[in-house]
Structure 1
Amino acid sequence: MSEQYLLEMKGICKSFPGVKALQNVDLQLKAGEVHALLGENGAGKSTLIKVLGGIYHAEEGEIIIDGQKVNIDGVVAARHAGISIVHQELVLVPYMTVAENIFLGREPGTKMNVDRRKMVEEAQKLLDTYEMNIDANMLVERLTIAQQQMVEIVKAISFNSKILVLDEPTSSISDKEVGFLFNTMRNLTKAGVGIIYISHKMSELAEICDRVTVMRDGQTVGTKVVKETTTDDLIALMVGRELTNYYTRDYLEPGEVILKCEHISDGKMAKDASFELHKGEIIGFAGLVGAGRSETMKAIFGLAPHATGDVYVKGEKVKIKSPIDALKYGIALVPENRKEEGLYKVQSVRFNSTIEVLGSFIRHLHVDGKKEEEITQKYIDMMKTKTPSQDQIIGNLSGGNQQKVIIGRWLATEPDILILDEPTRGVDVGAKAEIYAIMNELVKQGMSIIMISSELPEIINMSDRIYVMNEGRVTGCLDHDTVTQESIMTLAAK
């Protein structure tokens, strides 16, 4: 039976303190197929992939490649076995060039004399082959998140691996770039490469995947042929129940204007954005990658030192020069890039939950530990965050649970205005439904929410009104009663 599979993972078990992350997990990958790996955040997908990639060592189980049992005791061993992984969190070196990142540790030439010209030529050839409009000489820190994601994929492809793992590869790239990625994947599978594809975007499965394995609570619960199953069936396997009322919105009559912004610019990508937010409503911001949505919100939140424009909070013109000013006026921002802008990765869930509200439980030299624990637990419960304890290092949680902690952190500031930048990126369908329900409840209680999202169904179903941006400017506003994906895309390209 093993001969028909490129890869078999049998009976894989892995534990961490207080958590049994994997329990007898099985996964089979055929040569030339795209095999989706689905599951809620915390289901064990990333842990399984890290075992395959040599980052973690399983206590039990075996890995078989091309019919031969292999011992993957480290990242180098995984690479030698023909395995390359593009992780969800980017691991590029920002102050190095694209070419240096692609060939890091295997530069052409000698240790004393790297052939930089050849390195750049080879890197540019790879980028051009896959139709990526990126200069191999450019510093990675100057690239957008989408471009950095594409560089990660090119780097993995450059190893000529026979097993390629893509962990949420489309979470930060545009539809056009998704098309390039899928074409690249098809070319690789034609050459016999097997691809394990992790994604929370159910709509992508039918387009690119052959089979799908579903995990729940650290176990394998089923493997299906994509063409022979439905999205509802897969969701039921993932969450252990049927998921109804996926998008939760009660459209109520909005109140007075609580935030008014006129001609907002950050001096770079945000050029001229004007909009209004009413009490008790959700407004969505749509647009293509690079439209300036995140930059506009950062300017409002005091994160752009050269920002211009006028901001009115509850009818009063205010000056916001820093996040401290923004918090003073009741504005909170959950950033798009949680790894770089949100997490204290080596600190605990408690630390990450309460860092913005230290004044609530610290007086002079006295720390009210009980109050700190109460605040942390309140938002763990509200967000339904899966963590063994408040003392768990947040870097050990799944990406979706990290996101829940960050949202809870800013809710702890009790804002009137909550800005959510891609709040469900990398979050599973069950957790998405929970976040949507929380957003709905918050606006019913009078909070006002600004949501940036690249997922059109999400922004259409959750927003009272939708502002669309293109090249740093607001090009139109659409009402939830009449909005369509076509009308959004028309304004996004205007």
Structure 2
Amino acid sequence: MRSITKTFPGVKALSDVHLTVRPGEIHAICGENGAGKSTLMKVLSGVHGHGSYEGEILFEGEPVAFRDIRASEKRGIVIIHQELALVPYLSIAENIFLGNEHATRGVISWNETLRSADRLMKRVGLPEKPQTRVADIGVGKQQLVEIAKALSKEVKLLILDEPTAALNDEDSGKLLQLILELREQGIASIIISHKLNEIRHIADSVTILRDGRTIETLPVRETPSAEPELSEDRIIRGMVGRDLDNRFPDRTHYAGEDAGETALSVTGWTVRHPIDHQRKVVDDVSLEVRRGEIVGIAGLMGAGRTELAMNIFGRSYGIHDGGTVAVNGREVQTRTVPDAVGHGIAYVTEDRKTYGLNLIDNINRNISLASLPGFTRRGVVDEHEERRVAEHFRKSMNIKAPTVFEQVQRLSGGNQQKVVLSKWIHAGPEVLILDEPTRGIDIGAKYEIYTVIDELAAQGKAVLFISSELPELLGMCDRIYTMAAGRLTGEIAREDATQEVLMRHMTMDRS
């Protein structure tokens, strides 16, 4: 890719960007949110077609001009987006060949479809039947379906945008191993990721983008089998333009024994699966969070962390089957989301695009959504006050947008997350439940969000912090609960917590 420049109305997303990927190479692209990584890949894959950008693309030595994504796929370039493009109620086989069906005169050959799907599924290590619905398998396996789908198109260059963002450590490891195996088969890969340890593990080279420009391309290792020589600190320096001495803010306080009164108390909380009513997804969980504390919950995928949080927050998931919740020592009912909000509980969802934001509306209205009555006078929204509050958060949270009337879907992931946090902070909760608050966010934006969380705790708010990144929990939390198979398996103090201790409790069998 040579001198790629891409402009959106009012924004130059890419400016004279260069990228070179060798055959059979794993090439990582790093940069803060908004650096232009995904836009560059959308140009390469034809999502942004030829004529909508400046510059040229050469593939296998020849100039190419992809008008759309089908044109790039015909040449063997396949992109897997962060939001998977699968149809949940179709089978794995149907998804693999969707738009690329085994058909003669419009009639699909199901025998050939199932045979081919089975062959591709074995190639990517997916132990399911081709007839299984995509809705019935986990996110990790859905990623494998996407790769099988790419292999069905005789892929030569595979583009993966944040492929492990929603995966636990085990599924991430399997996916990374598969990418390494594809390299041995001569398939080149471009991987966008904020997880620098994964990049050092599998990448051969890394290109760093900052503010829509190419900063540098660095070798990670001399040969594919060599140990990585490029440090995480060196990558970070290229991404943010400076050394980042600390990944986490210095705690302005240390809660622990000095924390205030108990703000949130959950006792004997049990939740059943919304479809399989016999299965308990949360089983007799009891925990508490005091004022000024940041308390973590660690667990592997399927441990029940999100299910617990969503059920506490207005029964948003599953069927409540027992247990009580108390705020500031008084038992409260949280049967609906308005109930939970009214009692001072806020929940920042792990899926900000589906549940946290109205993507087609602007920053201004998204921030006011959780506390709309406070902006209303006799049934009419005070738009001046709404704008004043939104402008305050745009500046204080460093939301990178020209105005508060910018559509939220145009923002980077980190800035979208800041809008979600702003919405709930303005609602004035006593308890803030954060579910994967930095998922898919770059290292610089993470630090800004960590600082906001620390300030909330310093103000006496109680924070329940759910994360799949153990270093994040260790760097931010005063205490950490661990969960496995829906049950609490441990409570570890800050001074006793290590990744090894947490993992031992996260894999503990309490059945």
Match of residue 254, structure 2, among 251, 254, 275: 251
The SS at the match of 2:3 is: strand
Does residue 130 of structure 1 match 2:124? Answer: yes
Q: Distance in 1 between matches of 2:387 and 2:128?
A: 47
- 1:288 is aligned with what amino acid? L
Please report how far the alpha carbon of residue 111 of structure 1 lies from its aligned counterpart in structure 2 after TM superposition: 6.2
Q: Distance in 2 between matches of 1:48 and 1:184?
A: 24
Structure 2, gaps ≥5 residues long: 222-228, 274-280
- 1:115 is aligned with what amino acid? S
Q: Note if contact 2:267-2:324 (Cα within 8 Å) is conserved in structure 1.
A: yes
Q: Distance in 2 between matches of 1:395 and 1:298?
A: 24
Tell me the TM-score normalized by structure 2: 0.92
Q: Distance in 1 between matches of 2:365 and 2:393?
A: 13
Match of residue 351, structure 1, among 343, 365, 368: 365
Q: Distance in 2 between matches of 1:121 and 1:399?
A: 39
The SS at the match of 1:376 is: helix
The corresponding residue for 1:18 is 10
The verdict on how the C-alpha distance between 1:68 and 1:304 changes in structure 2, with shifts beyond 3 A counting, is closer
Does residue 263 of structure 1 match 2:268? Answer: yes
Please report how far the alpha carbon of residue 124 of structure 1 lies from its aligned counterpart in structure 2 after TM superposition: 3.3
Does residue 119 of structure 1 match 2:127? Answer: no
Q: Distance in 2 between matches of 1:335 and 1:360?
A: 23
Q: Distance in 2 between matches of 1:342 and 1:147?
A: 25
Does residue 286 of structure 1 match 2:298? Answer: yes
Match of residue 37, structure 1, among 20, 29, 35: 29
Tell me the TM-score normalized by structure 1: 0.95
Moved more, 379-388 or 327-336: 379-388
The verdict on how the C-alpha distance between 1:94 and 1:412 changes in structure 2, with shifts beyond 3 A counting, is farther
Please report how far the alpha carbon of residue 336 of structure 1 lies from its aligned counterpart in structure 2 after TM superposition: 1.0
The corresponding residue for 1:333 is 347
The corresponding residue for 2:145 is 151
Q: Note if contact 2:303-2:486 (Cα within 8 Å) is conserved in structure 1.
A: yes
Q: Distance in 2 between matches of 1:166 and 1:105?
A: 20
Does residue 433 of structure 1 match 2:450? Answer: no
Q: Note if contact 2:124-2:147 (Cα within 8 Å) is conserved in structure 1.
A: no
- 2:344 is aligned with what amino acid? G
Q: Distance in 2 between matches of 1:265 and 1:352?
A: 32
Please report how far the alpha carbon of residue 305 of structure 1 lies from its aligned counterpart in structure 2 after TM superposition: 5.6
Please report how far the alpha carbon of residue 130 of structure 1 lies from its aligned counterpart in structure 2 after TM superposition: 2.3
Moved more, 482-491 or 33-42: 482-491
- 1:239 is aligned with what amino acid? V
The corresponding residue for 2:277 is none
Q: Note if contact 1:270-1:296 (Cα within 8 Å) is conserved in structure 2.
A: yes
Match of residue 474, structure 1, among 488, 497, 503: 488
Q: Note if contact 2:474-2:494 (Cα within 8 Å) is conserved in structure 1.
A: yes
Does residue 66 of structure 1 match 2:77? Answer: no
Superposed CA deviations along residues 171-216 of structure 1, whole A, max 9, x for unmatched, are: 1112222222122112211222111111101111221001000000
Alignment map for 1:363-402 (pairs within 5 Å)? 363-402=377-416
Please report how far the alpha carbon of residue 53 of structure 1 lies from its aligned counterpart in structure 2 after TM superposition: 1.3
The SS at the match of 1:29 is: coil
Q: Distance in 2 between matches of 1:209 and 1:350?
A: 40
Superposed CA deviations along residues 335-378 of structure 1, whole A, max 9, x for unmatched, are: 11222222322222222222222222233453322111122122
The corresponding residue for 1:217 is 211
Q: Distance in 1 between matches of 2:462 and 2:84?
A: 32
Does residue 192 of structure 1 match 2:197? Answer: no
Does residue 417 of structure 1 match 2:431? Answer: yes
The verdict on how the C-alpha distance between 1:419 and 1:157 changes in structure 2, with shifts beyond 3 A counting, is farther
Alignment map for 1:93-104 (pairs within 5 Å)? 93-104=87-98
The SS at the match of 2:496 is: coil
Q: Distance in 2 between matches of 1:142 and 1:111?
A: 32
Match of residue 89, structure 1, among 83, 101, 107: 83
Q: Root-mean-square deviation (CA), in Å?
A: 1.6
Aligned length: 486
Q: Distance in 2 between matches of 1:40 and 1:321?
A: 39
- 1:75 is aligned with what amino acid? I
Q: Note if contact 2:247-2:447 (Cα within 8 Å) is conserved in structure 1.
A: yes
Moved more, 191-200 or 210-219: 191-200
Does residue 55 of structure 1 match 2:47? Answer: yes
- 1:45 is aligned with what amino acid? K
Q: Distance in 2 between matches of 1:317 and 1:427?
A: 36
Moved more, 179-188 or 39-48: 179-188
Q: Distance in 2 between matches of 1:338 and 1:153?
A: 25
Moved more, 259-268 or 274-283: 259-268
The verdict on how the C-alpha distance between 1:127 and 1:363 changes in structure 2, with shifts beyond 3 A counting, is farther
Moved more, 24-33 or 99-108: 99-108
Match of residue 316, structure 1, among 323, 330, 333: 330
- 2:28 is aligned with what amino acid? A
The corresponding residue for 1:306 is 319
The verdict on how the C-alpha distance between 1:183 and 1:229 changes in structure 2, with shifts beyond 3 A counting, is closer
Q: Distance in 1 between matches of 2:458 and 2:175?
A: 40
Please report how far the alpha carbon of residue 62 of structure 1 lies from its aligned counterpart in structure 2 after TM superposition: 0.3
Q: Distance in 2 between matches of 1:194 and 1:467?
A: 41
Please report how far the alpha carbon of residue 326 of structure 1 lies from its aligned counterpart in structure 2 after TM superposition: 0.6
Please report how far the alpha carbon of residue 470 of structure 1 lies from its aligned counterpart in structure 2 after TM superposition: 0.4
